[in-house]
Structure 1
Amino acid sequence: MNWFRKVFTKITKIEIKDDVWNGFVQFVKFGLVGLSNTVISYATYYILVPFNVNKYVASVIGFILSVANAFYWNNSYVFKKEDEEQRSPVQAFIKLFLSYAGTGLVLHNILLWFFTSICHISDYVAPVLNLLITIPLNFVLNKFWAFRAKKKK
């Protein structure tokens, strides 16, 4: 990504501080993990349903597999801890699951209801608006709660 930063700086003539750039890169990585989660979730659903697996069961299996995928990549790639830091992988997984369940299941449906029933926004546009809220919220929850590392004692 260093080459991208150099190209960006050369084109825009904007010099970005290291901590801001690193946060941006981390958010992009988080987004890529999110895309892979979506592919896994939908692929699981579309593979299982033709085999007469109940659509809700297929959806839950896809959700669980996407959370496992998110944990692996977020833990080892996006929010990688430094050598002098420590965190419990079990606690991180539980927190990740809770944050995804809270934003992906609960908040998503509340916002869907709000946008479609109260604001009268299209059923097709409302989920996109949801993403504008839930993705940054998930990033913050993952960065500062689920994958927050502590200095080793």
Structure 2
Amino acid sequence: MVWNIVDKIVRVIVGGFFRLLKKDYTASVHEGLMQFVKFGIVGVSNTVISYVLYSVTLIALKAGGLLPKFDYLVATVIAFVLSVLWSFYWNNKFVFTMEEGQTRNIWKALVKTYISYSFTGLFLNSILMVLWVQVLGVSEFIAPIINLLVSVPVNFFINKFWAFKAR
């Protein structure tokens, strides 16, 4: 039911925008856009899950006095590994679904998903942070938000056309 409401809202807003531009808002354009919206929803849930996992792990490590100099790094790794697994599950089930007759090697897709998230989450975001902060003088608090405008679409396309590509 909620998904039907989101679908209708996107149809009205984006369809209206396409009409203003005198362009056709085709079913395939809508389907691709809705897939991106679903990817975004999974991404938001992934961000929340990652932060919760990080916080809980960090609190547990601090309470146990384990790895006091590296507890935040261990918490980061645990949060990354588990939150990407969360994203993989929901992207596979909800976003990049397969048509009848298509197949996907689940383990290969999982490895590709970790590579994709590592590339966009670590490598690309780090390079962009240097660009925004050191080269363009953007605030360190605003730069990660700008990164989302680049890294989310890049991650979507990597996942769509590589990690979750059906055979």
TM-score (norm 1): 0.90
Given residue 76 of structure 2, which amino acid in structure 1 is its aligned partner? Answer: S
Q: For structure 2, list consecutive stretches of 5 or more residues without a partner in the other structure.
A: none
Give percent identity, aligned residues only: 42
Give me the CA root mean square deviation: 2.0
1:12 to 4, 12, 16: 16
Structure 2 matches for 1:1-153, cutoff 5 A? Answer: 1-2=3-4, 4-6=6-8, 8-9=11-12, 12=16, 14=19, 16-51=25-60, 52=62, 54-150=71-167
Partners of 1:50 and 1:20 lie apart in 2 by: 45
Note the C-alpha offset of 1:116. Answer: 0.5
Q: How many residues align?
A: 150
Q: Give CA-to-partner distance per residue, 1:93-117, whole Å, 9 cap, x none.
A: 0111000001101111111111101
Report the alpha carbon displacement of residue 6 of structure 1 after superposing the two structures with TM.
4.9
Measure the CA separation in 1 of the matches of 2:155 and 2:128: 15
Whole-Å separation in 1 of the counterparts to 2:126 and 2:149 = 14
Large movers: runs of 4+ above 6 Å: none
User: 2:77 & 2:48 partners in 1: Cα distance?
Assistant: 14
Change (3 A) 1:25 1:65: same
How far apart, in 2, do the equivalents of 1:134 and 1:6 lie?
27
Superposition deviation, residue 38 in structure 1:
0.4
Shift of 1:140: 0.3
